[in-house]
Structure 1
């Protein structure tokens, strides 16, 4: 697989990458966020989520059998040591060329920074209203416990806030701070950077939403990561 312009000079130890993926039909992707199941592990019913894991082989995505998500408390103080189960991504989503293009773009960075050819894809909608602030990262500033992380924004509607931050350590000022706009992909080495996304608030009386795909390389598969 050929590397993109961003990956040609990417240094896994010092760099993060922010790029806009062109020729993506965001509307076609966004409609698949409307039927996400609620995340049952958070109070407030403001986050909705699906999860699938894939092997990348010869520029193709091969979906792995259904499995659960696991992170230790070392990485997730809120929901660490909890085996979490989410419904798989919709098959129509997986078949979209737009979806495949985004995942394969993330994988070009994985080829530089990881020996894994496995990617976890988290499809997440965070909502907010006058009664409920939406918190994309309720665990606070954190690492995920993988090699590489990518965040691709599909949609922001009726919201303010939601800046994404990268830190070299939890006690220092951020080295990156930006609202990710639709079409933008942020990639960073999870071993080098902590990350956090601030809460979102509505800009009108209507509900606001933030829709993203979060990619991890490799996935956080429970039967491999769970403590014995």
Structure 2
């Protein structure tokens, strides 16, 4: 995106929505978010949660994926060109994707440990969600919001797979990938593709809050495996990980919002 100004949902709504709508995807340099204090607080408050993330029970063996999942409802109420609305809590439910969107784990209910309140209710997450929703054009109406707290931590000499399902859609309106931290790993290049399989762009998220947003209705995406940068050490343990917040957004099909049953994409 042009320019070096800070990006806030309240001030950049038209710009980000126009870019995502026109191109179908956009990269945002993490330095452009005016969230330094909120990010610092988030890293301190969330450290133990990242370290204790449970393994993704639905990922293939040796994928190195750890995960928690949460969901909110957004009630858009834009007025006089200003992006407004509120985030509402909804019950925690299993996650479900149709098999057409996820050939690996689609068609089944997946139950993940819920996101703790200090994650989903943090100032950083709330402001990132507002930005993502602004980019998706969620100025009016009800939108369902999925959040996945994902760590990819490859084993010694192995690969961690952010997207073991391959090039895919998620069955949503838009998705966002926000890098929290990448330490001791290489790889993890994200690409977007059209329906003919042409790669339209690629980016490696390297700095805190580097972000990729994709119009999931039009384009598919994929992130390459990651491996530990140092496979041999002379002293002490070797560790590597890639921590991201994954956000999925979709217009709600229910007047009252999803409150019961399984959360279903597509």
- Normalised by the size of structure 1, how large is the TM-score? 0.88
C-alpha distance in 2 between matches for 1:99 and 1:129? 29
* Corresponding residue number in structure 1 for 2:96: 70
Matches within 5 A, 1:46-85: 46-57=64-75, 59-85=85-111
Q: Residue 128 of structure 2: SS of its match in structure 1? A: helix
From the superposition, tell whether residues 198 and 150 of structure 1 become closer, same or farther in structure 2 (CA, over 3 Å). same
CA separation in 2, counterparts of 1:210 and 1:224?
26
Counterpart Cα distance in 2 of 1:144 and 1:211: 19
1:89 aligns with 2:106: no
Q: In structure 2, what is the Cα distance between the partners aligned to 1:56 and 1:192?
A: 22
Q: Deviations over 1:176-201 (max 9, x none)?
A: 11111221121111011110000001
Which structure's CA Rg is the greater one?
A: 2
Question: How many residue pairs are counted as aligned between the two chains?
Answer: 226
Gaps of 5+ in 1: none
Deviation at 1:94, TM superposition (A): 2.2
Listed as ranges, the matches of 1:26-41 within 5 Å are 26=40, 27-28=43-44, 31=47, 32-41=49-58
Map 1:158-169 → 2, pairs under 5 A: 158-169=184-195
Distance 1:130 1:214, change over 3 A: same
Query: How many Å apart are 1:96 and its aligned residue?
Result: 1.7
Q: CA deviation digits over 1:8-28, x for unaligned, max 9?
A: 532525332221323232533
Structure 1 residue 114, shift from structure 2 partner: 8.8
Aligned-pair distance for 1:44?
2.5
Q: Is the 8 A contact 1:12 1:112 kept in 2?
A: no
- Contact kept? 1:56, 1:62, Cα under 8 Å: yes
1:110–1:117 contact (8 Å) kept in structure 2: no
Map of 1:128 onto structure 2: 154
* Alignment of structure 1 residues 151-190 onto 2, 5 Å: 151-169=177-195, 171-172=197-198, 174-181=199-206, 182-190=208-216
Consecutive unaligned residues in structure 2, runs of 5 or more: 1-8, 76-83, 232-237, 253-257
